[in-house]
Structure 1
Amino acid sequence: MTTTPSAPQTGAVRAPRRRVPLWDNARFACIVLVVLGHAVQRLTYDSDIALGLYLLVYAFHMPALAIISGYFSKSDSPSRRQMARVLTDIVAPYVIFETLWTLTKWLVEGQANPNLTQPSWTLWFLLALALFRLVLPYLALLRWPLVWTVAISLAVGYWPNIDSTLSLSRTLGLLPFFTLGWWLAHHDIVARFRLLQRRRLWVRVGAVALFAVSGFVAWYFVDAWRAVNLREWLFYDEDYATLGGPWWSGALRLALMAIALVLSVAFFALIPRGTYWWTHFGQYTMYVYLLHSFVLYPFRETGILRNAEPTWLWLPAVVVLSVVIALALATKPVRTVFRPLIEPRPAWLFADPALAGREGHRSDPTGSRRPR
């Protein structure tokens, strides 16, 4: 949900909930960065500028998306309806798209390894969302949940048996950001500090300067980042030993988490607070997330972006293309065609078929509630 419910009145009709544009704008900006990160990947092998941009994006965009998801998650004991939504909104689309990716790999590459425990490409975040929601009620029972989740994130890097199976390594690695989002909502931080109001000019200038400096550092020291394989560290997907890290690698992850947090704060500071023609697309980020990989797959497999010269032409083109893809995949015609796959309502799956149809197609797994 993106609004604060009005106080209940006996016999009165509940007032409509007001959407907060900031969150829809932030969701859409995040999903554009997701598409951009995947689109620019092939350019990073031959372009230092592209790799610098890639590292900057990956330093914070998934932590920021996890924060948003946590902000709109509930820590109460889940109701039957909420439990059913985990199955309909997350698990069912995961199974559907994992099956589609298996078929795609078999048709294009001539080989496939059907395995629901090893998510294909972008699908890991669906499993992460499901696990986030399952563990949140237990985390909320603890004192200092943020401290515990940071400790978990640091510790899992030392355990090689926690890997990409069921995206567990990434899920636990990013768990502090999801928990932070819930904590911010739980303590009403946004309202208490009036963060929805217009930002002061110095805040926006400072955020832009921070990204400019970060981008420069990512590009200027790009050879050093290649040497230490920084991109793999930003995935939260491998244990420290596999990454070749020292015994104190937990401190390195903690530093990367701090950088992600600072950049996320700057990112949210730059997000517009008003409503624009593209704001409502933030309600449909799951369509972009699940479909954009199929759009990019031909570029990924044909190698059209490898050795793409000159970079000054290709890189801006890929940035513009990423925005266009995100906009196109969130449009109504695309949603109409792919809704049965992305928002399935398998009534046959439940002992109580009504659980599958509750609330129609109004919810996004990242927490957005759409108007009736």
Structure 2
Amino acid sequence: MSSTPPSGPVATPKARVPFWDNARFACIVLVVMGHAIQRLISDSDAALTVYLVIYAFHMPAFAMISGYFSKSGPPSVRQMKRVLTDIVLPYVFMETIWSFVQYLVEGKQELNPTKPSWTLWFLLALAIFRLVLPYFALLRWPLFWAIFLSVGVGYLDNVDNTFSLARVFGILPFFVLGWQVKHWRLVERWRLLERRPWWLRLAALGVFAGWVAVVAAFLDTWRAIDLRFWFFYDDSYDGLGEDQWWAGAVRLAIIVLGALLIAAFFVLIPRRENWMSGFGQSTMYVYLLHSFVLYPIRESGILKNEPFPELWLIGMLIVAFLIAVGLSTAPVRRLFRPLIEPKPKWIFAKHDGLPPGPSRTDPTGAKRPRTASVPTVRADGTKQ
């Protein structure tokens, strides 16, 4: 018995691009490494060097990847639901768990969801990025305005870590840059996912070698001015100890440095599918769970005042890599999927469509006045 083929073109799912999965996994490994060695940086110059090299670009790189895959048009019902299920609910769950853990371990009696714990700030940042991107897309020079806001907000002492706003504004240029790269179709036009010439990879290695050399050569200066806090994007210039009018130029230089390092980092990422690609599809699990694994190590004090901090540095970098791999595995995903990828269909309305026609209510809840309808013309030329 033969079957009749369906008429019209058949939609096929888009194939995953291994490069982006590889880039995500490399980024999340750097995130875990940075958190794993943080307690060593006061005792080890080598640890501080690695820390500053990582923190100059790893979260901006994550923001840029997120921007590349974000849509700037009016959100659909499905996209709005995904903001709730993929960002808001995991944030509420993990923030509640963190508050409970901190109460048990530190006696901290505070449940304040407006002040995200440790790594959870990035979830709030993603939610806000998605909300504001359609408005940036309406502007001329959206990247310029994102940089302007990032630099300008540093002069305001009242913008802090409430709802992660300081960091949201701080790394906003990288998110917008990712969206602009997609909007300009630079990946396709410049064939960035194809094989890279040897000289380009050599140049990328040179960029990182140069940054490592600069960090190592002026390490005492970076330690004295607390350069690592500048890479957090979570404090005003005054709070960082620089209240001069030109402090914004420092952040601008850091943004340019981050963009340069991100470009070099992406050049070095493998283009083809490999052992990293599968792990790169589970980075949210690693991001949200690795802090619970590292928390006992960090709070135990075993990484402070060690006689051989360089050996501990190597050990913690290896441990961080193993944590990233372990938290990407299928058993971990199955166990924690209800927290990381909740599917609470019961909280949504039963219909998936928006009300027909334009909204009759403005954002304040007031009814809009009716406007005269524009007559439409039938095919025979008569109006209706």
User: Under a length normalisation based on structure 1, what TM-score does the superposition of the two structures give?
Assistant: 0.91
CA deviation map 1:33-78 (0-9, x unaligned): 0001100100101001100110110000011111100000000100
From 125, 140, 145, the counterpart of 1:128: 125
CA deviation map 1:182-211 (0-9, x unaligned): 011111100000101111111111211221
Cα RMSD after superposing both structures? 1.4
Match of 1:280 in 2: 278
CA distance in 1, matches of 2:107, 2:145: 45
Q: Work out whether 1:267 is the aligned partner of 2:265.
A: yes
Q: Work out whether 1:335 is the aligned partner of 2:333.
A: yes
Instruction: Evaluate the alpha carbon distance shift between residue 353 and residue 51 of structure 1 in structure 2; reply closer, same or farther with a 3 A threshold.
Output: farther
Q: Work out whether 1:65 is the aligned partner of 2:62.
A: yes
Q: Which residues in structure 2 correspond to 1:12-23 (within 5 Å)? A: 12-23=9-20
Q: Which residues in structure 2 correspond to 1:72-91 (within 5 Å)? A: 72-91=69-88
Q: Which residues in structure 2 correspond to 1:1-372 (within 5 Å)? A: 11-245=8-242, 246-352=244-350
Q: Is the 8 A contact 1:233 1:243 kept in 2?
A: yes
Quote the offset at 1:353 in angstroms.
7.7
CA distance in 2, matches of 1:227, 1:16: 53
Q: Is the 8 A contact 1:347 1:353 kept in 2?
A: no
CA distance in 2, matches of 1:233, 1:354: 44
User: Helix, strand or coil: the match of 1:45?
Assistant: coil
> How many residues end up aligned between the 2 structures?
347
CA distance in 2, matches of 1:10, 1:38: 54
Q: Is the 8 A contact 1:71 1:181 kept in 2?
A: yes
CA distance in 1, matches of 2:44, 2:93: 36
CA deviation map 1:156-203 (0-9, x unaligned): 000111110000000011111000000111111000001011111111
Quote the offset at 1:152 in angstroms.
0.5
User: Helix, strand or coil: the match of 2:114?
Assistant: coil
Counterpart residue identity of residue 27, structure 1: R
Q: Is the 8 A contact 1:51 1:219 kept in 2?
A: no
CA distance in 1, matches of 2:212, 2:109: 38
CA distance in 2, matches of 1:353, 1:284: 30
In structure 2, runs of 5+ residues without a counterpart are 1-5, 354-384
CA distance in 2, matches of 1:352, 1:134: 24
Relative to structure 2, which stretch is displaced further, 274-283 or 291-300? Answer: 274-283
CA distance in 1, matches of 2:305, 2:207: 31
User: Under a length normalisation based on structure 2, what TM-score does the superposition of the two structures give?
Assistant: 0.88
Counterpart residue identity of residue 349, structure 1: I
Quote the offset at 1:346 in angstroms.
1.6
Counterpart residue identity of residue 116, structure 1: P
CA distance in 2, matches of 1:323, 1:112: 33
CA distance in 2, matches of 1:266, 1:272: 12
Q: Is the 8 A contact 1:347 1:354 kept in 2?
A: no
Counterpart residue identity of residue 236, structure 2: D
Counterpart residue identity of residue 345, structure 1: K
CA distance in 1, matches of 2:352, 2:296: 40
Q: Is the 8 A contact 1:59 1:260 kept in 2?
A: yes
User: Helix, strand or coil: the match of 2:273?
Assistant: coil
CA deviation map 1:274-321 (0-9, x unaligned): 111221111111000000000000111001111233233211111111
CA distance in 2, matches of 1:257, 1:315: 28
Q: Is the 8 A contact 1:53 1:219 kept in 2?
A: no
CA distance in 2, matches of 1:62, 1:93: 19
In structure 1, runs of 5+ residues without a counterpart are 1-8, 356-372
Q: Is the 8 A contact 2:150 2:169 kept in 1?
A: yes
Match of 2:368 in 1: none
Q: Is the 8 A contact 2:40 2:303 kept in 1?
A: yes
CA distance in 1, matches of 2:81, 2:307: 50
Quote the offset at 1:112 in angstroms.
2.6
